[in-house]
A and B are shown apart, each in its own frame.
Chain A
Amino acid sequence: MTVSETTGSEQQTPRVPAGVGETLVTVRDLKKYFPVQRGLLSRVVGHVKAVDGVSFAISRGETLGLVGESGSGKTTIGRCILRLIEPTSGSVDFDGTEIVGLDSKSMRRMRQHMQIVFQDPYGSLNPRMTVGTIIAEPLVIHGGLTSADRADRVAQLLLKVGLDPSYSARFPHEFSGGQRQRIGVARALATNPKFLVLDEPVSALDVSVQAQVVNLLQDLQDELGLTYLFIAHGLAVVEHISARVAVMYLGKIMELSDRRSLYENPLHPYTKALLSAVPIPDPAAKNKKRRILLTGDIPTPLNPPAGCVFHTRCPIAQFPICGEVVPPLVEHQPGQFAACHFAGEPIPDGTGASTLDVKSVPLPQPTPAS
């Protein structure tokens, strides 16, 4: 097993954070740099480090949540695992097969076992194809079925995702957002995959519909023994569906932990800030809660800060160490990994509020209206 191999030589290579049970997907030191070209000759002037040295493993039947703000590289990871984007370096091990460097023919065969559900239920379905054709397309590509068998399979899939089989003759525009996302799930399930990348599957949906789709995904996982990589920016949903959660910031994992430890006892200051920023739908909790406001925006991945990428916004950063040394992702508690020099240190009161103090600013003098 890959995990036990790495644990043996813990001193040399950091342990890949894995869940319990048999591992299905192992990602090691994954990097994706997008070249930035400029000028007439398209010279490469720099790289956007979308994913920068990410390692984790997902067990069979487990859901790993991947959260982070926009631009943190979570979607890029999902696509790199399926090699919809070619990783710059690193390795992705899927069920014992190394995927990076696989030739396109074998890769295509591998994709039967790994599928993706996209965020935008409006943009990810071809408006000119009927629902039946959309769902049957993976079956056509991967072959082996007669058209009658395919029609049966489509009907079966539609039922499985809670839609009427007669819908297969309709077009995507006839469906609501939630129904379209169900169609996307049915398409992903067509080839009987073991592993699904769910790229913000409920972000575009209304709350009442969101709950329906989340329940559907959980039911399907129980029924078919699926393994999920659940990518989202909504922490509440991730917390609900995932066994373990990885928090990303600027292409790196800041913290990876089982969901309970992450929510009850976050170690990384970024996780703490992220959790405190989520508004809780309970006015009674408002006064109990302390909000850690981060100053500024996420820096550009074109030129990420040296040392710890979070040090520019970190309320507990200490210099020079945080500005110079990249903190490794190490296991602080059993199953709880954090990449921080001062993991678990309390955050002092009153941090981050300075940019929002509007009281000191003089108001523009009201001039008489015209």
Chain B
Amino acid sequence: MSVVIKIINLYFRFSGSPTDRSVCPTFSVGTNLSSRIRSVTEEPTPLNPPIPHRVQPRVREKEMPGEALLQVTDLTTTFFTNDGQVRAVDKVSFSVSKGESVALVGESGCGKSVTAMSIMRLLAPGGKITGGEVRFRGVDLVALSEKEMQKRRGNDIAMVFQEPMTSLNPVFKVGSQVAEAIRIHRKVGRKEAWKQAGDMLELVAIPDPIKRLDDYPHQLSGGMRQRVMIAMALSCDPDLLIADEPTTALDVTIQAQIMELLANLQNKLGLGLLLITHDLGVVAEFCERVIVMYTGRIVEEAGVNELFANPSHPYTRGLLRSLPNPEKEKLEEVADRLPTIKGMVPSIKNLPKGCKFNPRCPDVMEICLGNEPARMVVSDDHDARCYLWGDVADPERVEK
């Protein structure tokens, strides 16, 4: 804990605003926001859709680690580069329960993969977890030694990577790669491991699994390779599966097969699933809860139905609107222009002051340029890092 406080203090010193406490939502909420509350007599500028004006802003409290399988609290990951330090993940907090599927969505560079790698402690050289906790069944993984962590990987948390072409070793048979994973974590003989590898391939619905054990990765199609990756990940019976863009490199019909398989397996084995993706369609169809990330921060979190029905952060709204939707366009004669989010994702080395989305936000207000908003409560099980949901909303919108 002292480390966390030290880092927070450091952050304040360097951000140059010691009063800026909204960046750490877990600290005495009442005092840090009430100072900015003004009595607003007039209605705020109508937004689309109108957002209820709240007298008492509510900031999401830190959840106590309880039932959750995985509890990530204020996770901060910094990369130390020649150009200086880059905070790729900044105070990310979320949880995954047993049997729950949670999606982590965002565009490239938003820190979703780094979050996953931090949980697994598989960060590239130069990357370091500089704050926060990753509790798995109550044990802080950040504090574990490398040897202890190695035991956790595979046994407790397993991961499926994006590129099935490059994550398998081309010079070993598929069977020996799956058997290797089994033998690292289980005390079994070669023969037994090989047999179990065959069972695993059968589990992921690979036709003719015993024959396929003798194949090399290049003899398998992309979809089959991804099935092998899933078999490897599940071979030691983990409780949590992290899938980092598992279908991005695959065709849609194969993507449908793989996602269906993952959903079936998750259901059957009671796995917690953390699905990292940029495809909102996949999220809508396969996940229960959605976490939206932008510039290393969580900007919105909600149940899947709630998020798609009532997106509350302007970034999420922009993302959803910018998707072409054949179902919607059926009704229209000619294809219209797609709504876009103006500008582009800022460089993580050079983020704007205040809310990180303010240069692109259609609803930007004066206050957004000052301090970064905390995660505000929109409704039960839905929060957004946006001043639209706090009482501090400035009725005077900034003219841009």
In the bound complex, what is the Cα–Cα distance between A69 and B254 (angstroms)?
Answer: 9
* A241 proximal to B (CB < 8 A): yes
Any A CB within 8 A of the CB of B323: yes
Residues of B within 8 A of A (CB): 107-108, 155, 185-188, 196, 199-200, 202-205, 207, 221, 223-224, 235-237, 251-257, 259-261, 264-265, 268-269, 278-286, 304-305, 308-309, 318-320, 322-327, 329-330, 335, 337-341, 344-345
Known: A236-B326, A358-B264, A369-B155. A214 touches B338 (CB 8 A): yes
Are A210 and B322 within 8 A (Cβ)?
yes
Contact of A370 with B305 at beta-carbon distance under 8 Å, contacts A70-B251, A240-B338, A282-B327 already known: no
Query: In the assembled complex, which residues on chain A have CB atoms less than 8 Å from the CB atom of B282?
Result: 279
A28 contacts across to B, CB distance below 8 A: none
CA distance A291 to B255 in the complex (A): 12
Most buried by B among A274, A283, A362, A368: A283
Contact between B207 and A355, CB atoms less than 8 A apart: yes
A96 CB to closest chain B CB (Å) equals 29
Picked from B155, B224, B329, B344, the residue with its CB within 8 Å of the CB of A240 is B329
A235 at the interface (CB under 8 A from B): yes
Contacts A282-B325, A367-B186 hold; do A207 and B278 have CB atoms under 8 A apart?
yes
**Nearest 10 pairs of A and B residues by beta carbon:** A279-B281, A240-B324, A211-B322, A206-B107, A69-B251, A277-B256, A211-B338, A281-B280, A364-B199, A208-B341
Contact (A367, B187) CB under 8 Å given A273-B253, A356-B264: yes
Establish whether residues B326 and A356, one from each chain, have CB atoms under 8 Å apart when the complex forms: no
CA of A259 to CA of B255 in the docked complex: distance in angstroms?
A: 23
Contact across chains for A236 and B254 when beta carbons are under 8 A apart:
no
Cβ–Cβ < 8 Å partners of A279 in chain B: 255-256, 259, 279, 281-282, 284-286
Q: Nearest chain-B residue to A259 (Cβ)? A: B335
Closest-CB distance, A287 to chain B (whole angstroms)? 10
Query: How far apart are B261's CB and chain A's nearest CB, in angstroms?
Result: 6
What 13 new A-B contacts, CB under 8 Å, besides A206-B107, A211-B341, A240-B329?
Answer: A69-B251, A211-B339, A233-B251, A239-B326, A279-B259, A283-B308, A355-B205, A358-B204, A358-B264, A359-B264, A359-B268, A366-B237, A368-B186
- Are the C-beta atoms of A277 and B199 separated by less than 8 Å? no
CB distance from A295 to the nearest CB of B (A): 8
The distance in angstroms between the C-alpha atoms of A278 and B260, with both chains bound, is 12
Docked pose: A361 CA to B198 CA in angstroms: 12
- Is A212 an interface position by the 8 A CB rule? yes
Interface centre among A210, A218, A279, A355, by most chain B C-beta atoms within 10 angstroms, is A279
CB pair A240–B335 under 8 Å, yes or no, is yes
Contact partner, A282, options B254, B268, B308, B337, Cβ 8 Å: B308
Distance between B101 CB and nearest chain A CB, rounded to angstroms: 12
A178 contacts partner chain B, Cβ-Cβ < 8 Å: yes
Confirm or deny: A176 has a beta carbon within 8 angstroms of a beta carbon on chain B.
Answer: yes
Shortest Cβ distance from residue A219 to the other chain B in the assembled complex, whole angstroms = 8
Contact A277 B255, beta carbon cutoff 8 Å = yes
Closest CB-CB distance, A49 to chain B, in whole Å?
A: 18
A14 smallest CB distance to B (angstroms)? 27
In the complex, the answer to whether B305 meets A283 with C-beta atoms within 8 Å is: yes
